[in-house]
Amino acid sequence: MAFEAYDDYEQSERVQQWLRQNGLSIVVGIAIGLVGIFGWGKWNDHKAAHQADAANIYAQIQVAAASGKADNADQLTDQLLKDYTDSAYAVFAVSDRAERQVQAKQLDKAIESLSWAETHASDANLKALAQMRIARVQLAQGKGADALAALDRMPPKAYTGVAQELRGDVLVKLGRPDDARKAYEAAKAAMGENAPQSVQMKIDDLAVAGKQGA
């Protein structure tokens, strides 16, 4: 009995000694853990608020653009690009600005805007969309080789039908009718029943041109 009592006492002393030696580190560890838990929660809240603010500014941009207030829309877009670079809304906004710039025949500025979108888009589909739009503007500029390079940067299966049709247009511009025909046929196959008649017309035009050149 005495031995058991001594053993209990010894165990108690050892526990107290261990606590004296390690208690501070335990408290610190618990504190760090709690800070981590609550800190992570606050960080998530901060991210959610950050995205909500970006969405609100983008909504204002859309209203301004729809109201014909392009200058106001551009100012808000600049704010998104400065303060919300990590947000997809910044990519949306600068892509919308590129569309306005194309309509205003400011093709060089549109390329700058779309290049920003390509660089900053974290989503693969958004990046591919920017690349395809770059190619479309470069084709309008008569820069077929640059347009083809932009299309080559796209993932093979991204927007396949539309991208292949655009590739065909670029290849026609570059004087490569055989490659253009293959691209149009790939576009038609990818689009299936939804393929617009214009794709078949482009294929037919190449066939006619080929016969005339024979």
pLDDT of res. 77: 95
Given a contact cutoff of 8 angstroms between Cβ atoms, the answer to whether 80 and 61 are in contact is: yes
Distance CA 96, CA 64 (A): 12
Block residue for tokens 């010894």: 10
Q: Give the residue from 129, 132, 110, 109 showing the smallest Cα distance to 121.
A: 129
Q: What is the pLDDT along the chain (214 residues), one digit of tens a residue?
A: 434 444 444 445 555 554 455 555 555 565 556 555 555 455 455 567 778 888 899 999 999 999 999 999 999 999 999 998 988 889 999 999 999 999 999 999 999 999 999 999 999 999 999 999 999 999 999 999 999 999 999 998 899 999 999 999 999 999 999 999 999 999 999 999 888 899 999 999 998 776 665 5
Cβ neighbours for 166, distance < 8 A, ≥ 6 positions apart: 132, 135, 136, 139, 147, 151
Q: What pTM does this model have?
A: 0.75
d(CA 140, CA 189): 25
Q: How far is CA 86 from CA 80, 122, 163, in A?
A: 9, 8, 27
Give pLDDT, residue 50: 72
Q: What angle do the packed helices 88-103 and 124-140 form, to 10 degrees?
A: 10
Query: Which residue type is seen at 81?
Result: L
